[in-house]
Structure 1
Amino acid sequence: MEIAAAVVAVIGTVLGAGVVGVQQYCTARSQRREALRDRALKALCELSTALADHRRAMWVREDLRLSGAAPADVAAAREASHVTRSAVTAPQVALMALLPQVRAEVDAAVHATYEMRGASNAVVLAARQESAVDAADCLAGTAARVLSRP
């Protein structure tokens, strides 16, 4: 009888340790997934902000160029657009690394924004800006769907 009780006690201890181990594994995995989600959401927000800033800078730059503004004003706007373009790179790379499922949408949003450069007239500039906004909205929607998956 004592041997049976000892065997049951050992088996219970082993099973208990196994359950605790599985719980710890699941908790750690959930925490890693949540941390990844948080970093991806932060990168998405940063990229969305950087793209909006760059679209605004490109609008000003191209509008000045198309309207025949003073060369100094166009040069200042060009310099400002270089700063906003540089701000796109880090969150772009981070988001593509964290959420490779949205790589195509990231590329489309970034390239659509860059395409605002060199518009032939104000109508083309407005159309390119609208395309850039649509691409950024598509990126946000797709990323939101990916991030909301369990």
Structure 2
Amino acid sequence: MVSITDREDDGSRRSPPAPGPRPWIGWLQIGLSSMLAVLFLVILAKTREQSQLLMRLEQRLQGLENSRALDRTSVLEEQQRAMVGRLQTLEAGAQRLQALEQQQDAWRSALADLQGRAVRRPLLSPDPFPAPESPAASPRSDGGVLRPPAPPSP
């Protein structure tokens, strides 16, 4: 039987003792930690750079949108000015037309007045343009007798 206190016999059957901490494992851990820290800083720098780039792009986009809006506003203002000009021309034409209609109404009433006066006033002579008297129809000094005109000779 083997006793527990016999170490000499047990040593041959056991695996070799575990070696102590190796120095390269510590350096490996430090290297990996450093590499992770550097990668974190690189990612952080890239994120900031992309954020700044996005801000610049947003500003450019806003500028383009403002420029387009300004162009549209300018076009609309120009169209509005043209429309106002046309409306002013139409209003002036309407005023001229109204003045002409008033003048026409005045002329119509004046014409009606003239026609009404002509109907109401009796004519002094039925012929407005009487023919001059012929010497044959004039009274003679032979006693005041009027004689009919002589028949025309053929």
User: TM-score, with normalisation over the residues of structure 1?
Assistant: 0.39
Instruction: Looking at secondary structure, tell me which structure has more helix per residue.
Output: 1
Q: Give the TM-score taking structure 2 as reference length.
A: 0.38
Q: Over alpha carbons, which structure has the higher Rg?
A: 2
Q: Which has the higher contact order (CA 8 A, sep 6+)?
A: 1
